[in-house]
Structure 1
Amino acid sequence: MSPMPRFTPEFLDELKSRLRPSDVIGRFVKLKKRGNAWWGLSPFKPEKTPSFSVDDRRGTYHCFSTQNHGDIITFLIETQGMTFPEAVERLAADAGLELPAENPEAAARAEKAKGLAEACAAAAKFYQAMLHRADGREAMDYLRGREITDAQIEAFAIGFAPAGRNALKDYLLNKDFPEDVLVEAGLLIKPEDGGASYDRFRNRIMFPILGSRDRVIAFGGRALDPNARAKYLNSPETPLFHKGSVLYNFNAARAAAADDKKPLIVCEGYMDVIALWGAGIKRGVAPLGTALTEDQLALLWRSSDEPVLCFDGDSAGVNAAHRSVDRALPMLKPGKSLNFAFLPEGQDPDDLIRSEGVAAMNEVLAKARPLVDVLWSRETTIRPLDTPERRAALRSHLRDLVKQVADKDVRGAYGEELSRRLDAEFRPPERRQSYGGGARQGGNPFRGSSRDFGKGRGPNQKGPNNRGMGFRYAAPARPTPGLKGPSQWVREASLVLAAINHPALIERHEDAFFGLELADPGLKTLLGEVLAAISTTPTLDSAGLKSHLSQTGAAGILERVTQDPQLRNNWRLRPDAEIGEVELGFQNALAHHLFESTHKQEVARSASQIFTEGDGAWKAAAAAREELINSSKPEEAEGDEGDSPKRFADALERMKQTVDKKFGR
């Protein structure tokens, strides 16, 4: 049988009955009595006229400007970023109500944790007292040298651990704390050889670390001895303390962030958080000596949509920022990201505030850069980008990074944004595409590869065993503006429809699709949406792709392409056609398209260049041009080979050889 829920309805009712909502909420919102209710400014949005009401009789609050409504538990969850258990535990402590245990084992763990927390609280009081005694004079002098005030010392309960091996041990044993509890709480070290236990923290400035309900769960200690093995030392992992799940000063900082309606600020160390607090910026937190973990990021995002990570401007700080980018990228959600603030090189927040004041710190925070900027800056500066191959490597690596983003919507947004930046950075101005609605036609870089087209052949009859050109083009009854002729629209549309009915074709011929130049603006838009969708969700099948496209700005052109009778009658373009046959037809159709749009122009230019050089050269060029034209005609491509891409290439090569020979190259 599963254990009973920890918080039963009866327990929650008892909890709410012991606390007045106006007292709980009044700690966070300034309330004034008006009639039978309390009124104040909304904690959910900035406003000048109070629209937030608290009713003690009903035990609820209601915000008329945002329609947020709930009880005291909901209030703490929505405004303080707490989880449901955290909110209940906080309120239970305020009400003096003992938390129920789920089962005997849980009750035993809770009792044990209570003993460990009581030991840590007693240790914190001991350290605080020691700071103000003769043994703590050096520690106090250090703090004064760092311009730490009495108010900061009191707010953060800063203390001092004496240099003796047994100072804390003797004090706590005399308070009747069992030695094994002190060892398990991380306050004492018990040697493995069976020797006597001794104080873990010695001759260090002590910073208590608080958990839920603001109870002390661990410590951080800063060595006064410059030769100490570790400048900073944290408590070990204990039943109370899991370093990767805790942020220093989190409880106080998230309350301040909620009051200020500003994001949390993540610093590197205790002193930075304390310096920010002294300057009036009370939203600072810090990981405990390591890079941010997944748990810590989740903790941040419960209170701030876009917390600011503050790093030193030196190489170590930049590297730490890059590690945070990599850690956060897979976890990004709509509206949940990170901003990065970089301080002048060699300075941390404490240094900057002491040397230049809080205005300089606020200026740094105001210039915080979004995660995508830091990612782009890193990827475009760590490698040279002066050759096509190196730019292709950048494109490939960015594509791999985007694929790490788990959330589909954010993944798609990152693909589009980085695609736009690549286009702006590396494409010639005359070839840059507009970037509205969907991905650029032929421009999304996140599906490119080094694959070539292969050497396929294609049939020209309506049967799977006959070989020939592939997709056939017949002129539609209606002309399309901007095209050289109506058959060009059918030719271009057939290439796009092949991708829509067979998305696997894009995987096989990525470079061809992403480099495809189309004359028809509607087909450009449609292909751009196709490539953006496949980039975001590579597993999309034809039905899913069409469903997605029908919700985009390309829905109209999609309907025209899929309903065109000439395209529907082409058996190679049907969704049930074999992918191998579709591929063969696509290769030859692409060759025809390239000839019509590119190769024919190239041959014409070459012929005109050598026209004045003599009759023989001109005739050779004309013959090559004629062969190219003939090889592009479907009705004459039924020879043994039927390999039009190869025939185009061979003819162009003969053309090149003629020119080289004529000019003695």
Structure 2
Amino acid sequence: MALSPAFLDELRARTPLPGLIGRKTRLLKSGRNWKGCCPFHGEKTPSFYVYDDHFHCFGCGAHGDAISFLMRAEGAAFPEAVERLAAEAGLEVPKPSAQDAARERRARDLHAVMAAAAEAYHRRLFLPEGRPALDYLRRRGLKEQTIRDFLLGWAPGGRGAIAADLRGEDITEDQLIEAGLLREGEGGEPSRDFFFSRVMFPIRDRRGRVIAFGGRILGDGQPKYVNSPETPLFRKRLGLYGLDLAREGAFRGATVVAVEGYMDVIALHQAGFTGAVAPLGTALTPEQLEELWRISPEPVLCFDGDAAGARAAARAAELALPLISTERTLRLATLPAGEDPDTLTAKRGPAAFQGVLDAARPMSDALFGLITEGRPSATPEQRAALRNRLAGVAGTITDKSLAAEYRRVLLDRFFAASRIKPGGRPPPPRRPARPVIEAGPVRAERARMMFAIILRHPWILSQVEEAIGLLDLPEGPAAQLRAAILAWPVAAEPLDSEGLIAHLAKYGVEDAVAWALMPTGLPLAARPEALPGEVEEGFWHFFLRLRGEAELIEDQQEARQTLAETNDASAQRRLILVTEALDAIRRGEAASGAAGDAA
């Protein structure tokens, strides 16, 4: 059964291993992986680990992917295992044709060609003609074992060198051209080497097979680096240099970090950072990000500490935002000015780069600076433009709840930065300050009333679920209730009060439910007999009084826009409620109305 590697890779990617293996043995979460008792040998202490794309038993040595697990666990033949997994994944197994079989044979042959070429270039590095390249690598601080581990080599300057080296391997000129090792001659001229007078860096796929080369010229010639042309084995936007080694490093706990160049990757691996990879001479692509996430849920992107590095970081963040989720994100690290990972580890040792990794910022923290850097905000027009930019960037995130969180974080920082400029003064108060009223208990009481309304009328959750996720709630029962309520699969159960309360009991928040439903001071909207209009108005009344002033200003502007677009009565009512809440805060009455809000 000849199937393309691309199809098999997609099949593996679409088959969640914990779900498949969990049918045979009970798995428990262990960090970002899973563990359990091995289904292949009797054991009482779990030594069987399940990762994103493979499993491994430290007891009996069983190791493999989804296909091999099904073959081993159920005695399925390879074609049967593929057919069953493909059916579950919604994939159609391609029917092999004569052309497909020929293409597969040719790909296998090309892998052999590339492996032979890598060995040939590597041998030449240690010949007298390769001495300048070897000296260059040693001056860059590489040990001989590192040079051999990465199979670094030398492509000489003479015409026909690689063809001569591989002549004894029964490799044809057509194969060398198809593999990107020769350029086809023009106008009757003979073919010539694609790489000459360059230090050679074999590029391997995630399975460790050589699929292309990068070549660096010695001296100051241009271009400094040249990569193989695209071939049946190699597409530049899909690969990462060092990916096969980084997979192994991540398996052993290394931080996955994307840096800029080949030498950076090699120097970091030599210094012990075995999760290092690099794009292939271009900016990161969505496909390369997907590869990073296949081996780590939170890889680090490392950038230079200059203006070009900041621009590269901003581009990478903009590329990644539509792709991130609650399960996968990024951290961003910045190198000291004038340094790259290679020079930093050479001058100051591994501890210096570890400090860079330790200082890496989560995407949510770094994003505000990347967006606002260099953007003026002195005038109302400039501030409005910047605010729209922040909201628009957050809106590119596909996951709605995550987009709402990013929007809140970015606008919180925007409003905080807008209130007091460096060297400036805070704006004068609108009126003489009132005596300070302790707001904490009042906020808790308003949160209690809001949740009492939800508990008695959970049908409103479909309208307000995202809204309550945005609130900055006081710690304690209110925060516990929100977490448990948002965990309720609303669409899977009847939207009634008893069902919701029974669900919350499973989360151990019975005390928080009792707190919310204490009869003292509850509003009319929290009574079981309240009409839908009363319930909606009551919820938004308390919700808006739990929002901050900056958020209410934003709500008011959105409500005005909605009213202008729809001229709807509900939009008008919402604008009135928001305006009342905003006026209450500005009058200093945010703490005074808790009891008055209740009936």
Which residue number corresponds to residue 451 of structure 1? none
Which position in structure 2 is the counterpart of 1:295? 287
1:249 aligned residue (233, 242, 246): 242
| CA-to-aligned-CA distance 1:345-381 (integer Å, 9 cap, x gap) | 1211111111111121111111111112221111232
- Map Cα deviations across residues 212-249 of structure 1 (whole Å, 9 max, x no partner): 43221111111114223x11111111111121111111
SS of 1:75 mapped into structure 2: strand
Secondary structure at the aligned position of 2:212 is classed as strand
Q: Once the 2 structures are TM-superposed, how far is the Cα of residue 319 of structure 1 from its aligned partner?
A: 1.5
Q: Which residue of 2 aligns with 1:107?
A: 101
Is contact 2:181-2:194 (8 Å) kept? yes
Cα-to-partner distance string for 1:320-344 (whole Å, 9 max, x where unaligned): 1111111111111213111122111
Q: Quick one: structure 1 residues 220 and 595, their matched pair in 2 at CA, closer, same or farther if it must change by over 3 Å?
A: closer
- Which moves more between the two structures, 386-395 or 261-270? 386-395
**Is contact 1:312–1:318 with CA below 8 Å preserved after alignment?**
yes
Matches within 5 A, 1:598-637: none
Is 1:318 matched up with 2:310? yes
Aligned length: 468
Amino acid at match of 2:346: R
In the alignment, what sits opposite 1:59? 40
Is the Cα–Cα contact under 8 Å of residues 260 and 278 in structure 2 kept in the other structure?
Answer: yes
**Alignment-derived partner of residue 158 in structure 1:** 152
- More displaced stretch, 586-595 vs 130-139: 586-595
Is 1:365 the counterpart of 2:357 in the alignment? Answer: yes
What does residue 148 of structure 1 align with?
A: 142
RMSD (CA atoms): 5.5
Asked whether 1:216 is paired with 2:217, we answer no
Matched-pair contact (CA < 8 Å) for 1:206–1:221: yes
1:268 partner SS: coil
Relative to structure 1, is the Cα distance of residues 386 and 163 closer, same or farther in structure 2, using a 3 angstrom cutoff?
Answer: same
Amino acid at match of 1:145: R
Given residue 175 of structure 1, which amino acid in structure 2 is its aligned partner?
Answer: E
SS in 2 for 1:299: helix
Q: Does 1:391 align with 2:372?
A: no
- Separation (CA, whole Å) in 2 of partners of 1:250 and 1:63: 35
Provide closer, same or farther for how the CA distance between residues 61 and 317 of structure 1 changes in structure 2, counting only shifts above 3 A.
Answer: farther
Is the 8 Å Cα contact of residues 52 and 63 (structure 1) preserved in structure 2? no
Give 1:180 shift.
1.2
1:328 aligns with 2:320: yes
Amino acid at match of 1:369: R
Residue 55 of structure 2 is matched in structure 1 by: 74
Q: Do the aligned residues in 1 keep the contact of 2:55 with 2:64 (CA within 8 Å)?
A: no
Residues 6, 102 of structure 1: 8 Å contact kept: no
Change (3 A) 1:87 1:316: farther
Shift of 1:53: 6.5
Partner of 2:333, secondary structure, is strand
CA distance in 1, matches of 2:129, 2:582: 85
Matched letter for residue 525 of structure 2? V
Counterparts of residues 120-199 of structure 1 (less than 5 Å): 120-199=114-193
CA distance in 1, matches of 2:332, 2:30: 25
- TM-aligned CA deviation for residue 568 of structure 1: 5.5
1:80/1:255 contact within 8 Å kept:
no
Q: CA deviation at 1:144?
A: 1.6
- Counterpart of 2:9 in structure 1 is none
Q: Secondary structure at the match of 1:309?
A: strand
User: How many percent of aligned residue pairs carry the same amino acid?
Assistant: 36
Q: Using the TM superposition, give the Cα deviation of residue 44 of structure 1 relative to its aligned residue in structure 2, in angstroms.
A: 5.0
Conservation of the 8 A alpha-carbon contact between 1:63 and 1:69: no
Q: Pick closer, same or farther for the CA change 1:136–1:196 going to 2, 3 Å.
A: same
1:274 to 266, 270, 293: 266
Q: Counterparts of 2:409 and 2:585 in 1: how far apart (Å)?
A: 30
Instruction: Give me the whole-angstrom Cα distance separating, in 1, the residues matched to 2:581 and 2:369.
Output: 38
Aligned equivalents of 2:129, 2:344: Cα separation in 1: 31
TM-superposition CA deviations, 1:303-322 (whole Å, max 9, x none): 11111112221222222111
Matched-pair contact (CA < 8 Å) for 1:209–1:220: yes
Uncovered stretches (5+) of structure 2, i.e. residues with no partner: 6-27, 72-78, 83-93, 421-425, 427-432, 468-473, 539-565, 590-599
TM-score (norm 2): 0.63
| Offset at residue 420 of structure 1 (A) | 3.3
C-alpha change, 1:141 and 1:573, in structure 2 (3 Å) is: closer
Distance 1:220 1:596, change over 3 A: closer
Change (3 A) 1:236 1:403: same
CA distance in 1, matches of 2:535, 2:402: 38
The alpha-carbon distance between structure 1 residues 597 and 404, as it changes in their structure 2 partners (threshold 3 A), is closer
Shift of 1:256: 1.6
Contact 2:391–2:411 (CA under 8 A) maintained in structure 1: no
Change (3 A) 1:156 1:435: farther
Aligned CA distance change for structure 1 residues 407 and 192 (closer, same or farther; 3 Å)? farther
What letter matches 1:111 in structure 2?
R
Asked if 1 retains the 8 angstrom alpha-carbon contact of 2:114 and 2:210, the reply is: yes
Task: Give the TM-score, by structure 1 length.
Answer: 0.58
1:377 pairs with 344, 369, 372, which one?
369
Does the CA contact (< 8 Å) of 1:4 and 1:102 recur in 2? no
Deviation at 1:416, TM superposition (A): 3.1
1:563, distance to aligned residue in structure 2 (A): 5.7
- TM superposition shift of 1:157: 0.4
The within-5 A match list for 1:435-454 is: none
Matched residue type, 2:139: G
Per-residue displacement from partner, 1:141-178 (whole Å, max 9, x unpaired)?
A: 21121111111111100000001121112322443211
Preserved contact between residue 56 and residue 63 of structure 2 (Cα < 8 Å): no
The question of whether the paired residues in 2 share the 8 Å contact of 1:253 and 1:264 is answered with: yes
CA distance in 2, matches of 1:135, 1:194: 30
Q: Which residues of 2 match residues 159-558 of structure 1 at below 5 A?
A: 159-228=153-222, 230-259=223-252, 261-427=253-419
Contact 2:217 2:225 survives alignment (8 Å):
yes
Distance 1:115 1:584 in 2: 71
The 1-side partners of 2:64 and 2:291 are apart by 9
2:55 touches 2:65 (CA, 8 Å); kept in 1?
A: no
Verify the 8 A CA contact 1:61 1:69 in the aligned structure 2. no
State the alpha-carbon separation in 2 of the partners of residues 330 and 406 from structure 1.
Answer: 5
Quick check: 1:169–1:198 contact (8 Å CA) kept in 2?
A: no
Q: For the pair shown, which has the larger CA radius of gyration, 1 or 2? A: 1
Is the contact between residue 127 and residue 160 of structure 1 (CA under 8 Å) also seen in structure 2? Answer: yes
Task: Work out the CA distance in 1 between the residues paired with 2:283 and 2:338.
Answer: 19
Aligned match for 2:525, one of 555, 561, 566: 561
